[in-house]
Amino acid sequence: MPAPGRALIALLAALGLLAAASVPPAPAQTSPDAATLGAATQAAEVWLALVDGRSYGQSWEAAAPLLQEAVTKAAWTETVTQVRGPLEPFGPRTLLGAQLRTSLPKAPPGSYVVLQYRTRVSQGREVIETVVPMLQPDGSWRVSGYHVRPAS
């Protein structure tokens, strides 16, 4: 059985939703303005509260259609349970950075904010979480991708 972090990385890479720090800089990358950053961060934090509360099904329902079309609710719930379980509980997060992107690998053009957090987890360990809110046609932001890896 693969290590939990590798399982989520493999799932998200297969889904084309891996928009983590490993994505090389692109010309369409900038820092978001304050209003965009605030709206995208708020959407990410509301969504992360669902995941932190182990409401994985609800996190899938609240996610962007891009994520929902890429993975079933059952597969999402199973994988997130396997990956996050050994790391629970997730504690305080510190925002490390934010990038506004108009394109991501294997994703349609759009407005994305790639947010990276340093997060404390069980046993005093730390991970890097990447959360990718995507601007929806109605003007709202919804999470289209999620990645967690050990902090280096």
Structural domains present in the chain: 4-150 (3.10.450.100)
- pLDDT on residue 29: 64
- pLDDT on residue 26: 46
Phi and psi at residue 116, to the nearest 5°: -120, 135
Nearest to 121 by CA among 15, 4, 41, 13: 4
Nearest to 69 by CA among 39, 43, 103, 106: 106
Distance CA 93, CA 109 (A): 29
The distance in angstroms from the start CA to the end CA of the chain is 23
Q: What is the pTM of this model?
A: 0.83
- pLDDT on residue 30: 81
- pLDDT on residue 28: 54
CB burial readout 74-84, b (16+ within 10 A) else e: eebbebbeebb
Q: pLDDT tens per residue, the chain (152 residues)?
A: 344 444 444 345 434 444 333 344 444 568 888 999 999 999 999 999 999 999 999 999 999 999 999 999 999 999 999 999 999 999 999 999 999 999 998 899 999 999 999 999 999 999 999 999 999 999 999 999 999 999 98
